[in-house]
Amino acid sequence: MNEDINKLIDLQAIDLQIKKFDEEMSAGNTEVQTRTETIEKRKEAIVVFQEKIDAGEQRRREIEAAVEDSEIRIKDRQTKLMNVQTNREYQSLIKEIEDSKNMVKNLEEEAVHIMEQAESLGQKLTEENNVCQAEEELLAEKMQEVGKLESGLQKKKKKIENQRKKKAKALPENLLRKYEKILLHRNGLALVGITNGVCHGCFMSIPPQQYNELMKGESLANCPTCSRLIYYLPEAETE
């Protein structure tokens, strides 16, 4: 087989290893990011629950003040009933007393509802806080794990990148440029074998004449479908 083809095969193998390292590091960081976003959403929910509880407590205090004012008014009007001189004045006071009593009743019912809601929200708030705390502990562990993994992968990547530089320098400059351009646009896979006339990159057939030429093992070509660099790979070697 042509010497440049063998060099390219070695270079592609190295680039696939580098790609694998990058993907492993990316997967770890993605999981950390996902966990972080989940925790942030829980914290947002906690803020909303607390705001609702605080608003309910504020409204409950307002109701207490309103009930107190209404009860004072009722007592005042009941006292005035003792001194009324006309039926019209009497009926007016009676209506005012009844209206105030109804208002107190409605306010007290609202206060009960607010307390029930506060209890429910308080339970949810406690649950969210507990879950959030547990998830933050897991996140800290995951970040430490990812950090160690990334550190190890970076060392391996740096070592293999040094090998890549040597392999790349051994190739003709124009061939290297062509290879790296395809590498960039084909998700890290620029060179693939052809077996039984089928491209291992896109799994499409190439023209028979082109395949026959590649079978000589002395040249490279571009796949007419995916544009990757292709070379002849005997079926026995694919196994």
Residue 46 has pLDDT above 80, yes or no: yes
Q: What is the pLDDT of residue 165?
A: 95
Residue 55 has pLDDT above 80, yes or no: yes
Neighbouring CB atoms inside 10 A of 102's CB total 11
Residue 190's closest CA among 179, 174, 206? 179
DSSP letter assigned to residue 216: T
Confidence of residue 18 (pLDDT cuts 50, 70, 90): very high
- Tell me what the mean pLDDT of segment 122-141 comes to: 96
Q: What is the pLDDT of residue 83?
A: 86
- CATH number of the domain at 17-171, please? 1.10.287
Q: What is the pLDDT of residue 25?
A: 93
Alpha helices, DSSP H, located in the chain: 3-81, 87-169, 173-185, 208-214, 235-238
Residue 8 has pLDDT above 90, yes or no: yes
Q: What is the pLDDT of residue 138?
A: 96
Q: What is the CA radius of gyration of the chain?
A: 39
What is the token pair recorded at 91? 């009926």
Residue 186's closest CA among 171, 201, 199, 174? 201
39 Cβ partners below 8 Å, 6+ apart? 132, 135, 136, 139
Lay out the sheet containing 229-232: strands in order across. Answer: 198-199, 191-195, 229-232, 221-222
DSSP letter assigned to residue 197: T
At 196, give phi and psi (nearest 5°). 55, 35
Question: What percentage of the chain reaches a pLDDT higher than 90?
Answer: 91
Tell me: the pLDDT tens digits for 132-168?
999 999 999 999 999 999 999 999 999 999 999 999 9
Q: What is the pLDDT of residue 82?
A: 87
DSSP class per residue in 148-166: HHHHHHHHHHHHHHHHHHH
Tell me: the pLDDT tens digits for 59-77?
999 999 999 999 999 999 9
Residue 230 has pLDDT above 70, yes or no: yes
125 Cβ partners below 8 Å, 6+ apart? 46, 49, 50, 53
| pTM assigned to the model | 0.69
Residue 48 has pLDDT above 80, yes or no: yes
Buried b (16+ CB within 10 A) or exposed e, 224-237: eebebbbbbbeeee
Q: What is the pLDDT of residue 62?
A: 96
Q: What is the pLDDT of residue 84?
A: 85
- Tell me what the mean pLDDT of segment 172-181 comes to: 95
For the chain, domain boundaries: 17-171, 174-238
Q: What is the pLDDT of residue 14?
A: 96
